[in-house]
Amino acid sequence: MRTSVVAAVALAALGLTACGSGTDSGKGGGKDDTLVVGATAVPAGEVLTYVKEHLAAKAGLKLEIKQFTDYVLPNTALQEGELDANLYQNQPYLDDFNKSKGTDLVSVVKPYLPPMGVYSHKAQRVTRLDDGATVAVPNDTTNEGRALRLLAAGGLVELKPGAGADASPADIAANPRHLRFKELEAAQLPRSLDDVDAAVINNNYAQDAGLSPTEDAILLESAKDNPYANLLAVKRGNEDDPRVRKLAKLLVSPEVRTFIQDRYHGSVLPVTGG
């Protein structure tokens, strides 16, 4: 099932704004006891919208959602107090961001995995990529390493022993197809598909562009032993904020698990136990 129409409907219902300035009325620029959460549109924005519309009131939680279109601003806004929490990233990315930017953000709960995929307008299978094909990959350290690990899992390249989450093209030990790599900002990757032979695209940007991971990806991550589940993050010291704990509990509830399964049909996978 393709999700572009779903994403558009969800965003219209939300009336999401890019990034608002804070106010003096409470943490994160929220009003009263409102929890202000930053998110990318799909799937985080849709999951949070479901929580807001169906579960939050009963749990006594006031929720405001702010949409972001990149991976940097949601963390800087959280660190600076413009947000109370965010939902969009994985642990390796958060660890690298904290290290490189000097932020102090921590994970609270990990509700779902959006598998990264390889997409192409020119090949229907990874085995059909031409020798010397150009493959676009994310240009941030963690997602580039993740992309290369996916290509290695698909047998397209071989990484050097010990290459970790921050692997780069310099860590490729064998490249039998002589692939060439084009490093782009993650959000730009779907738009690159007409200009490259394939692109390794993060799940949220793929779905936001109308790509279905289960139908359109020519190579998709496995959920088994996958460290890239998305997490609800807060600034250190706010983990026990009652509003945060309420949201964390709702994000791993049976209702949200069912919503993810029904909405995404395997394109996003709930994480048992968070």
Distance of CA 87 to CAs 56, 67, 84, 106, 151, Å? 16, 10, 11, 12, 26
| pLDDT value, residue 226 | 87
> Is residue 8 domain-shared with residue 85, that is, in the same domain?
yes
pLDDT in tens, 98-145: 999 999 999 999 999 999 999 999 999 999 999 999 999 999 998 999
Q: Which of 164, 247, 249, 167 is nearest to 200 (CA)?
A: 167
Please report, for the domain that includes residue 35, its CATH number. 3.40.190.10
Please indicate, yes or no, if residue 71 is contained in any of the structural domains: yes
Handedness of CA 92, 97, 103, 108 (dihedral sign): negative
* pLDDT of res. 184: 98
| Between residues 90 and 31, the one the model is more confident about | 90
Q: Is the pLDDT of residue 197 over 80?
A: yes
Q: Give 4's pLDDT tier (boundaries 50, 70, 90).
A: very low
**The pLDDT of residue 164:** 87
* 225 or 146, higher pLDDT: 146
Phi, psi at 89, each rounded to 5°: -115, 170
**223-252 burial, b for 16+ CB within 10 Å, e for fewer?**
eeeeebbbbbbbbeebbebebbebbbebbb
- How much of the chain exceeds pLDDT 70, in percent? 88
Is 10 a residue whose pLDDT tops 50?
Answer: no
Helix or strand run (H / E) with residue 198: strand 198-201
Burial readout 2-38 (b: 16 or more C-beta within 10 A, e: otherwise): ebeebbeebbeebebeebeebeeeebbbbeeebbbbb
- pLDDT at residue 237 above 50? yes
Domain for residue 45, yes or no? Answer: yes
Kindly state whether residues 133 and 167 are assigned to the same domain. Answer: yes
* 91-107 pLDDT tens trace: 999 999 999 999 999 99
Q: Are residues 71 and 158 in the same domain?
A: no
The pLDDT of residue 20 is above 60: no
**Could you give the CA distance from residue 230 to residue 250 in angstroms, rounded to a whole number?**
15
Q: Would you state the pLDDT for residue 5?
A: 34
Sign of the CA dihedral with 57 first, then 244, 95, and 161 last: negative
Residue 196 and residue 174 share a domain? yes
Q: So what's the pLDDT on residue 222?
A: 86
167-189: per-residue pLDDT in tens?
A: 999 999 999 999 999 999 999 99
Which amino acid is it at 96?
D
**What is the distance between the alpha carbons of residues 126 and 57, in angstroms, rounded to a whole number?**
46
Average pLDDT over residues 245-270: 96
Three state DSSP letters for 111-153:
EEECCCEEECCCCCCHHHCCCCCEEEEECCHHHHHHHHHHHHH
Centre a 10 Å sphere on the Cβ of residue 176 and count the other Cβ atoms it contains: 10
Residue 211: inside a domain, yes or no?
A: no
Q: Same domain for 25 and 111? A: yes
Residue 28 is predicted with a pLDDT of 54
Q: Is residue 208 part of a domain?
A: no
183 and 108 co-located in one domain? no
User: Which residues form the domain of 147?
Assistant: 117-201
Tokens at 240, concatenated: 């026990």
| Residue 15 pLDDT greater than 70, yes or no | no
- In this prediction, residues 257-263 reach a mean pLDDT of 96
| Averaged pLDDT score across all residues of the chain | 89
pTM assigned to the model: 0.74
Number of domains in the chain: 2
Give the DSSP letter of residue 236. T
| Amino acid at position 139, single letter | N
Structure-model confidence comparison of residues 33 and 22, the more confident one: 33
